[in-house]
């Protein structure tokens, strides 16, 4: 669900951003520093990432009057992802959300919408478990 005025966001991991990819086919975290790096399942290719971003993304505007979302949240297989701009308002890069990392808490509106998506998808248990394990 991209913005009404947007033709659709691009998914770009950004130059030299390989840290959010790994060989496993599930979302998780690789230890490295405080909390580690969020890792996406290996089957998430560019086309799927773009489709998730545009079809399932929930834009979040941190500042009133912002012309583009500062974050876009996506739920995939019960796992919440946060997407941040690589090129402001044009492209985004996502990784699994974790409460003790940069996006500390899920805004209540976002959490509610993600929970609704999880229930509709049949992934409510996985979403609840993720929040319990990684909610901060």
Give the total number of structural domains in the chain. Answer: 1
Phi and psi at 95, nearest 5°, equal -160, 160
Residue 2 lies in a domain: no
Residue 58 lies in a domain: yes
Q: What percent of the chain has pLDDT over 70?
A: 84
| Confidence (pTM) | 0.87
Phi and psi at 38, nearest 5°, equal -70, 135
For the segment 2-54, what is each residue's pLDDT rounded down to a tens digit? 444 445 899 987 655 555 668 899 998 888 766 677 888 999 988 999 999 99
pLDDT of residue 97: 94
Residue 71 lies in a domain: yes
pLDDT of residue 21: 66
Residue 5 lies in a domain: no
Residue 119 lies in a domain: yes
pLDDT average, residue stretch 80-103: 88
Beta-carbon contacts of residue 105 (< 8 Å; ≥ 6 apart): 99, 136
Residue 3 lies in a domain: no
Range of the domain at 15: 10-134
Beta-carbon contacts of residue 4 (< 8 Å; ≥ 6 apart): none
CB of 37 within 8 A of CB of 119?
A: no
């Amino acid at each position: 669900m991209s913005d009404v005025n947007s033709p659709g966001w691009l998914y770009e991991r950004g130059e030299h951003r390989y840290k959010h990819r790994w060989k496993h086919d599930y979302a998780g975290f690789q230890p490295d520093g405080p909390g580690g790096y969020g890792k996406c399942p290996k089957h998430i290719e560019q086309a799927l990432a773009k489709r998730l971003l545009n079809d399932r993304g929930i834009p979040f505007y941190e500042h009133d009057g912002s012309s583009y979302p500062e974050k876009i949240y996506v739920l995939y297989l019960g796992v919440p992802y946060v997407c941040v701009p690589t090129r402001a308002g044009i492209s985004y890069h996502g990784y699994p959300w974790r409460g003790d990392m940069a996006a500390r808490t899920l805004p209540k509106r976002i959490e509610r919408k993600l929970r609704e998506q999880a229930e509709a998808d049949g992934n409510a248990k996985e979403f609840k478990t993720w929040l319990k394990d990684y909610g901060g």
